[in-house]
Amino acid sequence: MIKKPELLAPAGNMEKLKMALIYGADAVYLGGKAFGLRAFGGNFDNDELKEAVDFAHGLNKKVYVTVNIYPHNSDMEKLPEYLAFLNDIKVDALLVADLGVFSFARQYAPDVEIHISTQANNTNWVSVNAWKDMGAARVVLAREMSLGEIRTIREKCDVELEMFVHGAMCISYSGRCLMSNYMTGRDSNRGSCAQPCRWKYSLVEEKRPGQFFPVEEDERGTYIFNSKDMCLLPHLPDVIESGVDSLKIEGRMKSVHYVASIVKAYRAAIDSYCQSPVDFQLKQEWIDELGKVSHRQYTTGFYYNKPTADDQIYGSSSYEQTSDFVGLVLAYDEVTGYATVEQRNNMKLGQEIEVFQPNLPGYRMTLAEMYNDEGEAIEVAPHPQQIVRMKMAHPVEPYAILRRDV
């Protein structure tokens, strides 16, 4: 019998956490205000961390907290108190990369599982077993591995394994980057990456300072560090059969729309495959869903072959998507058929919108009636996060997303 892997989603803030879990994730990973590698991802203060754990546990789901910076001496002073707090609120696991942090976690958070972060660069079964012998419950495998290598580790290691299946790829080896440090003074390995790999570059010849020569690609310049995004949904049978325990989606700095859409597509595909592997068929609607959110072109990364020039994007640093997120359903009145909606992008009467929902079927409708919070009929909702009421063609549920085609 095929073991169903965990679906693990990013949660940059409380709203994203709720959307990820409601749309089908089994667990989320998130960061506190310190000690994680996404200092600009929103993150959670201590009160929010406790609320996050309580919300997830209320759904019988899990919360993993990132403590995966490579700390300097000064970082270690407040770490024991923070780890003890995470132990007290009963987070389900800590994501750790540094051996010193690992040691402190064993000491100050003895009741919490330790997962070894991808930043620790685990690419072989010997290192995976070494972490297991020290007490790690799970190892997140480096992204630079093939599925064949992952299968070998699975055969030789009796510890939970986690792998990335979707999201942005980093130019640096398992994310260990120094460009940000040198170019901006912001330490990528302590959570403050400025993402200089996304900037546009030109060449300068030593004896001709001040003359910039674009590395041209169709005369638009080149973004020589830009990787395509990873996407393994079309290859889920291979991924699941490799025996990994958790499938991880990247993106704590991504949008609510991104989290909900990607999670629901993978949830449906995983459930379908595990229910009947022999009869599994990849559905076009899942693939279409992945294109509706902001993303770069997709690649399978290192999992089948070493990346080539085709896995980079040379002409643009821009993202693409086929839908815009315009509204979030807060409540629905079954008697009147009206929904209370929080505006997330310009909405106006006459637009065709798609209703995308966690559990109920989705549908399309033309926006025909809309009222502001004073009950006045309006034709457009232009104000950020404006609360409006609108007549729905069919029932909707809280956390449903309203979107329109780009």
Task: Please write the tens of the pLDDT for every residue from 237-264.
Answer: 999 999 999 999 998 888 899 999 999 9
Range 228-240 average pLDDT: 90
Q: Smallest Cα–Cα separation from 19: which of 48, 55, 51? A: 55
In a domain, 290, yes or no: yes
Judge whether 337 lies within some domain: yes
- The H or E element spanning position 248 is strand 246-249
pLDDT at position 163, please? Answer: 95
pLDDT classification of 1: cutoffs 50, 70, 90: low
| Same structural domain, 281 and 338 | no
pLDDT, averaged across the chain: 87
| DSSP result, 163-184 | EEEEE---SSGGG---HHHHHH
Q: In the prediction, which pLDDT does 189 show?
A: 55
Question: pTM score, two decimals?
Answer: 0.85
Q: Which residue has the higher pLDDT, 388 or 34?
A: 388
Least confident of 17-21, 27-31, 290-294: 290-294
Nearest CA among 384, 371, 392 for reference residue 345: 384
**Residue 205: band (very low, low, confident or very high) from pLDDT cuts 50, 70, 90:** confident
d(CA 62, CA 53): 7
Tell me the range of 35-39, 250-254, 318-322, 339-343 where mean pLDDT is highest: 339-343
Residue 31: which H helix or E strand, with range? strand 27-31
Whether residues 234 and 346 share a domain: the answer is no
- Mean pLDDT on 175-199: 63
Q: Give 356 or 210, the one with higher predicted confidence.
A: 356
pLDDT at 198 (0 to 100): 63
Q: What angle do CA 399, 402, 406 make, to 5 degrees?
A: 145
List pLDDT tens digits, range 111-155. 999 999 998 989 999 999 999 999 999 999 988 889 999 999 999
Q: Is residue 103 located within the same domain as residue 234?
A: yes
Same-domain check for residues 41 and 148: yes
Residue 320 pLDDT class (50, 70, 90 cuts): confident
Output the pLDDT for position 218: 46
CATH number at residue 151: 3.20.20.70
Question: Which of 304, 332, 362 is the C-terminal boundary of a domain?
Answer: 304
Q: Residue 267 — very low, low, confident or very high, per pLDDT cuts 50/70/90? A: very high
Domain count, the chain: 2
Range of the domain at 292: 6-169+230-304
Mean pLDDT of 19-30: 98
- End residue of a domain, out of 253, 276, 304: 304
Q: Is the pLDDT of residue 379 over 50?
A: yes
Average pLDDT estimate for 265-283: 96
Asked if the structure places residue 188 within a domain, the reply is no
